[in-house]
Amino acid sequence: MAAEKKQAAEEGPETYWKEFVTPDGVHYYHNSMTGKTTWEKPDALKGPDEMDRGGEWVWIDDEVDGFVPARVVSRGHNGSVLLERENGQQEQVPPKKAATLIPLFWRQLRRPERDLVMLDEMNKPLIIHNLKKRFEDNEIYTNVGTILISVNPYKRLPLYTPSVIETYRRRGMRKLPPHVFEVADSAYTHLMEHQKSQSIVISGESGAGKTEATKQALQYFAEIAGSENNVEQKILLANPILESFGNAKTVRNNNSSRFGKYVEIYFDPRGSICGARSTNYLLEKSRVVLQNEGERNFHIFYELCCGANAQQQQQYRLAGPEYFHYTNQTPSDIDGQDDVEEFATLEDAMHMLQFTDVEKDSVFRIIAGLLHLGNITFRDTGDRQCEIEQKDDSLRNAAELLQVRPGDLQTAITARTMRMRGQEDIRVTLSAGEAVDLRDALAKFVYEKLFDWLVERINKSIGQGSGGARNPRTIGILDIFGFEIFKTNSFEQLCINYANEQLQQFFNAHTFKLEESVYKSEKIQYEHVAYIDNQPVLDLIEKKPHGILRMIDEELRIPRGSDKTFVTKLLDRHRNNPHFASVLRTPTDFIVKHYAGEVHYVSDGFLEKNKDRLNEDTYSMVQTTKMAFLKALFPSETGTTRKKTLGYKFTEQLHVLMNTLNKTEPHYIRCIKPNPNKAPLQFIGPMVLEQLQYSGVFEAVQIRKSGFPFRYSHEEFVKRFKCVMPNATFRDYKKGCATLINALGQNTNEMQIGFSMVLYRAEQHREIELIRNVAVEKTVVLIQQYVRRFLAQCLLKRMKAIRPKLQKAIIACKKSRRMADIDAAIKLAAQISPFFVMKEVDELKWLKHVIVEEERLSKVLAELLSKNDPEGNYEALSRAVASADEIDLHSDEAEEARKVVGVIKERKAVAAALAAGVEEYDEDKLRENLEKAVALGVQENVDKAQEMLDALVTEKEYLYENAVYQLQMLEEENMRDLLSRADGIHYSTPEIERIRELLLNTPQEKFVQMQLKAAVANNDPRRAIRVTIRLKTLYFERAGNLFEFKNCGKLRDPIEWANMKLLTLSRDELIDGFLVWTKNPIHASMTQLTSANNKLAKTAFKSVMGYMGDRAYNYPSGLAVELLTIALNNEPLRDEIYCQIIKQMTENPSGQSIAKGWELLRVCIDTFPPGPEFENFLEMFIRRRAQPPEPMVALLHQSIYGGCLSTVPSAEQVDMVAKGGSLRQFDQSIQAEQQAMEREAAAFGGMGVQGARQAQGLLNYVNPDALTSGPAAAPKMMALDQARQRHHSQVDATPAYSQQPQHQQQQQYQQQQYQQQ
């Protein structure tokens, strides 16, 4: 029963489980019933998204993420596995690969660890997942024990502020999130405590963030250590100079260091910075003359071109970067970097580091000289002969800036001297290509010498202070290029990878060998972890006499040595070396198997690059310069100096560096580049995986996991964990460790007690830290209870003791009103507690406030009342009265002031109400407050209010009359204008509400029918036609498909029509072509006609064809007259003619014929209307086919309304109508009215026809003088003018040649439209 209860507590209601947070910010969970504690979130507290997924899951390779989860769908009998990714994609994995699949447990993914050692399992997928999740949360730093992994975020993060520095500076024993400041702080702390020099080794490929990590570490040391002479600021000032001359944009990084550097910071015995020294390695000087696509030259070239002032531009003969060959090979802009601003920063830094004016001028002069040197071009003039192209002044500019003779410079780069023992020197000319190489070599060497000088000059400016003693205390920061594997790897990559091999050996010695030495010294049991020892690779590269670098030097001493002979000897010597291999396809290449992978080296240029020196002629030419600065960069060389190769010098530098590092306690920062696009929040797993492999991170995690990464001295362990046994006493710390280990539920096999410390792994660390957290939580809560109770009791005791004194002081002060007594009582109470304020203290403070206010108000009120200007001092009087009310002051001055303020307040309220009435058009408010204004003598706003009141009365009278009128006319636009105007002044009558009802609640079709009745009742034919068209539009929108031409009941059946032709071989074609264009005359009428009319119909069709140009006839206008004559004399033929025209306009291949068809249709409509049965079919055809349809539709309704013309139009009249005219007087009257309205609009300032009519209506009804004053006059006039009722003059529009009286036509037209609807 107890077991079931315990299980229910663990799995059941979440009330048993509680979440806690450690001081480090890590969450853990405790069950109050069972006492169980866990880091894992219990199921009872998990949401649906946090529950483990069912089935078997594994990690599978992915091109973007490196590894992604996949569910095992099935396993084959041969060992293959069918997997399904989270996106549903399935993949069959072969047996060999299936055997290497790594299991996935979802619980491992929910808690990204700050330290990879704390991971439940040590595998690559889990490490990549952990780094990615932290990266996505902007947590770019992760630990591997004491090693820091830094993933470049490619965006600004608030991680380096002064407050963050202060947090890590004062961290004490707290565990803070991983950070570069934590590494820097550990180095500084160990320096001060152990008195041993420290080093921080920062590595990673270009774009991984090494330079930024170096800058932040230096910034931290400058902040926490400081100095007496601001030397730490000089160290920071060196960065802009070194970055300008040593950094460049690459495809991987906008500010990539193109050299390695080791910065040693010297500290005095007190821990303050006293000096620094920088050493540079392998400057990429080839960048001066050649840049790859998407990259730039060193920053200084662009900064000088863009940032130099006018005097410098003229002095150094500068132009934009696009002018110079060394800077125009690729685009020069960098997003987010301002070269002008950077140049100003550079000049400030040089000034602060005390560069002299001569030194700065010489540096910039050399940079400008190199730019002009790069613009010198050559052309071949014969066999291995060339000359300089004189297209510009590049040669002269370069020579004058470098202060050498132009002729000497020209000779030095177009020829060389061949020297042989026992013979005279021979002058050998060069081809154009060789001259370019020599020009570029000169530029590279001058720049390299200049950079070396800058580093030494900075070292001189900073100095070493007292740190330059025999045993200096230093912290060194190594920022050096990471391991490189490119498509083409040359001598530079060999040197870089050689340096990384040395650093990896140093890393191995510290991380692996030293780790095991700790276990041996503690005499504990441990398993040896195999790691890659790269000493054989180092021997292959550097060991005398047959190391690769040694053999290159040897080959240079041989007269006919070449890259090819070098590789041949190399292959012979190292053919059996397991770390060396040949390349079968290219015998001149070779492979070195580095710790990070195999690298294919291309030997072309190895010897020349290793030689690393100018020919004697060019070197001697530079020594002739008159610039003392440049001459000092090229001193006379001895034989020993000239024999030193680049490989030899680099090896010497590297050995010095490693000797220095071996004397320090190292700290490591591994910088990782998450993507090749420099894009924020983009994490490409395979790329990160490769870099982790190169940097030895996986091996570091493995040894930490298999070893004992957590360790405390015996004393530290007892003090940390004795809280689990609060009543125990420990006199012997070592025995106490064993006792505590048992109390923590562990055994001494997993938690080993060494000679001086306790060592254990991550699993035990998790368990015992949980137990400790629970114990500390209980203890802290108990301590807080006792402390709070004790403090509360002490406070209560003091308050009881002082309360009688305070009460007595209050009574006395109310009588004496002495401020000194009140202050003394408040001061006495302040000794009790600054956080607990007694009510007596509040009463004393209020009494003090009242006394002070009484004195102040007496003076203020007396002064204000004596001025006899209450209106002018109203605000001040109001504030004084409010203050008097607050302290309940009732002096004579206060009472008088209250009366004055009350009267003024009432007068102001009336004036404000009048202004509000004007703005709101409120008649009642205006009338009420005008009466009050008379009684109080208020003048403000009275005139405006009276004017508005008069205007409102007039307006309401007009609106009432107009509403009655509009209910008769039912003009929608005018009704809406009237309603808007009435709402604007909040006016309503039954008539206005009826208008509102009609506009808002009446169906549109019904309202239009009502408008049609009103138009007929008011004898307004034009409006009747306009409304009828609108009514038809609504009707056709609803039922337009019923009136397609093919559905017309007057048409013959197509089969019947085709059968009326006795002899034909194409009866089906006749049926199909019944309603479409034809080039032949028709054999029968399209509608049912008598025999006689059938013959006339065929004649009429020929006239239609002739007018439209489908048959050749002269005088088409005459054909139209004949057609109209037939129609006017034979009513049954009118619809037939319309049908014929529609037929010929349907599927007509000729656009010109169709246009003539529309002209003919217009002429017919203007002459005679269609019959009632055909009217809607014709209108529907026009609405769908005419462009635009409106004029033709209007003409159709005028024709229906007016009936047929009484006489046949002449040919001239036909032409006039075809071009858009009309023979109907009615249409002409509409045009005349429109022209009159346009003239009215022009008279009213371009308001438009409608606006003009409204404005005219306003002038007819309201006196404008009543609305042209006051603050709101302009908007009121606009609102009224735009809303006025239009007044239409009635125009008799009886059609010309009408056959019927007008009233009969109106009645017949209205009846006809109702029947159709």
Active site residues: 206-207, 211, 253, 256-257, 482, 484
Please state, in angstroms and rounded to a whole number, the distance separating the CA atoms of residues 1254 and 1299.
38
Q: Residue 202 CB: number of other CB atoms within 10 A?
A: 26
Q: What b/e sequence results for 1284-1312 when a residue is b if at least 16 CB atoms lie within 10 Å of its CB, and e otherwise?
A: bbbeeeeeebebeebeeebeebbeebbee
| Cα angle 942, 948, 950; round to 5 | 105
DSSP state of 52: P
Q: Which helix (H) or strand (E) holds 1240?
A: helix 1225-1243
Alpha-carbon distance 316 to 748, whole Å? 76
Q: Reply yes or no: is the peptide bond before residue 1188 cis, omega within 30 of 0.
A: yes
Neighbours of 338 (CB within 10 A): 14
- Nearest 5°: phi and psi at 921? 55, 45
The strand ranges marked E within 184-296 are 198-203, 247-248, 256-257, 260-267, 273-281
Q: Please give the helix or strand (H or E) that residue 82 lies within, else none.
A: strand 81-85
Secondary structure (3-state) at 1235: helix
Asked if 680 and 153 count as a contact pair (C-beta separation under 8 A), the reply is yes
DSSP character at residue 577: -
Q: Which helix (H) or strand (E) holds 602?
A: strand 597-602
Contact 1218, 1195 (CB under 8 A): no
| Rounded CA separation 1108/836 (Å) | 106
Number of Cβ within 10 Å of residue 235's Cβ equals 22
Cα–Cα distance list, 888 to 436, 853, 855, 857, 894 (Å): 98, 11, 13, 12, 10
What is the C-alpha R_g of the chain? 51
Helix (H) or strand (E) holding 718: helix 714-721
Amino acid at 913: A
Count Cβ atoms below 10 Å from residue 889 Cβ, excluding itself.
20
Find the helix or strand (DSSP H, E) in which 28 lies.
Answer: strand 27-31
Single-letter amino acid code for the residue at 1311: Q
Are 71 and 88 contacting, i.e. CB atoms less than 8 angstroms apart? no
Distances (CA, A) of 326 to 299, 308, 386, 436, 1195: 12, 18, 21, 12, 79
Largest CA distance in the chain: 140
Helix (H) or strand (E) segment spanning residue 442: helix 432-462
**CA-to-CA distance for 1050 and 1093, rounded, in angstroms?**
15
Say how far apart CA 992 and CA 132 lie, in whole Å: 71
Residue type at position 785: Q
Q: Give the list of residues 6+ apart from residue 912 with CB closer than 8 angstroms, or none.
A: none
Residue with tokens 């020297």: 419
For 1165, counting Cβ atoms within 10 Å of its Cβ (0-12 exposed, 13-18 middle, 19+ buried), the class is buried
CA 516 vs CA 19, 256, 512, 534, 766: distances in Å: 39, 37, 6, 18, 23
Structure tokens at 1214: 């036909």
- Main-chain phi, psi angles of 740, to 5 degrees: -65, -35
Cα separation, 444 vs 438, whole angstroms = 10
